[in-house]
């Protein structure tokens, strides 16, 4: 439902300056929504089965880590399925990059990784508390930093310390960066030059030889020059050029892979943290 709503609001973003912003905010909402729903969807996992889990683990039917890993195995399947629906519904509705099949595949991978990290974070909370209500009261406090430190509302370099350092642990940051670089990766036509474009901008974006363009109003506001003609221009306008973003590589493909790797590292760390928290909670309950 949320994907339909986002797709409806940002439906078929045009290839102008406003369309660049729409892709950024539409991508953020799809991204943050996956993290949010995945986290909240698993907060009740361990408190709901706490009594049965403690009794069976103390009777040595299974080790607590085996119980945790079984939950993770099923959860990975679930969290990898729902992103398929996001791609199937949201991607065409927003009119995102379909120049190559890998653009769609990378989009899915980022959304699936983010969904799994959100779920892993929910597992940590769920393993640490004894009641669902306590978990639900803690969860919002974990979501807000992800939103504030991802670089959307204030650039990473402009964050005061220690929040700039904390932003390196915000998985939404890497997801948003990777998704935007993936979206604004395209081949620029040789005909796309400021000189050639200046002769057609009055006719509207449909006449532009470039990947992006400016309508008459945007050209007037920009002082007669369109600042966004290519995919690289779009990334620069969003503050996501290679010099302003970390991690970044020599090519867009490298940058996409580096951000994907950062998300995988955070996913592994969070999954392991959830197991440690569950083991500690079990030992405290068993000794008490």
What would the two tokens of residue 143 be?
């979501």
- The overall longest dimension of the chain from CA atoms, in Å, is 80
Q: What's residue 9's pLDDT?
A: 83
Q: Which H or E element spans position 52?
A: helix 50-58
Question: What is the DSSP code (8-state) at residue 238?
Answer: T
Tell me the C-alpha to C-alpha distance, in Å, between residue 213 and each of 18, 25, 235. Answer: 10, 19, 14
pLDDT tens for the chain, residues 1 to 288: 677 888 788 887 777 788 888 888 888 888 888 899 999 989 988 888 888 888 888 888 988 999 999 999 999 999 999 999 989 988 888 888 888 899 999 999 999 999 999 999 999 999 998 888 888 888 888 888 888 898 888 888 888 989 999 999 999 999 999 999 999 998 877 777 666 555 444 445 666 677 887 777 766 676 667 778 888 888 888 888 888 888 888 899 999 999 999 999 999 999 999 999 999 988 887 776
Note the Cα 287 to chain centre separation in Å: 40
d(Cα 67, Cα 56) in Å, to the nearest integer? 10
Q: What's residue 278's pLDDT?
A: 93
Q: What's residue 16's pLDDT?
A: 77
Q: What's residue 239's pLDDT?
A: 85
Q: What's residue 70's pLDDT?
A: 93
Q: What's residue 268's pLDDT?
A: 97
- State whether the Cα torsion 237-243-248-250 is positive or negative: positive
Question: What is the DSSP code (8-state) at residue 160?
Answer: P
Contact 198, 184 (CB under 8 A): no
Question: What is the DSSP code (8-state) at residue 188?
Answer: P
Q: What's residue 107's pLDDT?
A: 95
Q: At what angle do helices 64-94 and 50-58 cross, to 10 degrees?
A: 140
Q: What's residue 27's pLDDT?
A: 87
Q: What's residue 17's pLDDT?
A: 80
Q: What's residue 203's pLDDT?
A: 47
- Phi/psi of residue 200, nearest 5 degrees: -125, -5
d(Cα 232, Cα 22) in Å, to the nearest integer? 17
């Amino acid at each position: 439902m949320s994907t339909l709503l986002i797709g409806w609001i940002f439906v078929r973003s045009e290839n102008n300056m406003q369309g660049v912003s729409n892709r950024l905010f539409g991508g953020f909402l799809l991204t943050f929504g996956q993290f949010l729903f995945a986290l909240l969807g698993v907060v009740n996992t361990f408190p709901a089965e706490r009594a049965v889990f403690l009794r069976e683990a103390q009777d040595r039917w299974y080790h607590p880590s085996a119980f945790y890993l079984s939950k993770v195995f099923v959860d990975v399947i679930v969290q990898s399925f729902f992103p398929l629906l996001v791609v199937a519904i949201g991607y065409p509705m927003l009119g995102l990059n379909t120049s190559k099949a890998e653009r769609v595949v990378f989009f899915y991978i980022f959304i699936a990784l983010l969904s799994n990290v959100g779920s892993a974070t929910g597992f940590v909370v769920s393993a640490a508390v004894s009641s669902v209500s306590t978990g639900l009261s803690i969860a919002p406090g974990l979501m807000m930093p992800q939103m504030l430190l991802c670089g959307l509302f204030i650039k990473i370099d402009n964050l005061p310390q220690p929040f700039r350092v904390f932003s390196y642990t915000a998985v939404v940051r890497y997801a948003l960066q990777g998704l935007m670089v993936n979206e604004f990766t395209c081949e620029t036509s040789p005909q796309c030059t400021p000189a050639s474009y200046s002769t057609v901008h009055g006719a509207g974006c449909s006449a532009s030889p470039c990947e992006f363009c400016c309508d008459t109003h945007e050209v007037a506001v920009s002082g007669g020059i369109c600042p966004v003609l290519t995919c690289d221009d779009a990334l620069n306008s969003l503050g996501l050029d290679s010099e302003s973003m970390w991690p970044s590589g020599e090519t867009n493909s490298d940058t996409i892979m580096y951000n994907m790797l950062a998300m995988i590292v955070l996913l592994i760390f969070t999954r392991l943290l959830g197991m440690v928290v569950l083991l500690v909670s079990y030992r405290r309950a068993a000794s008490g």
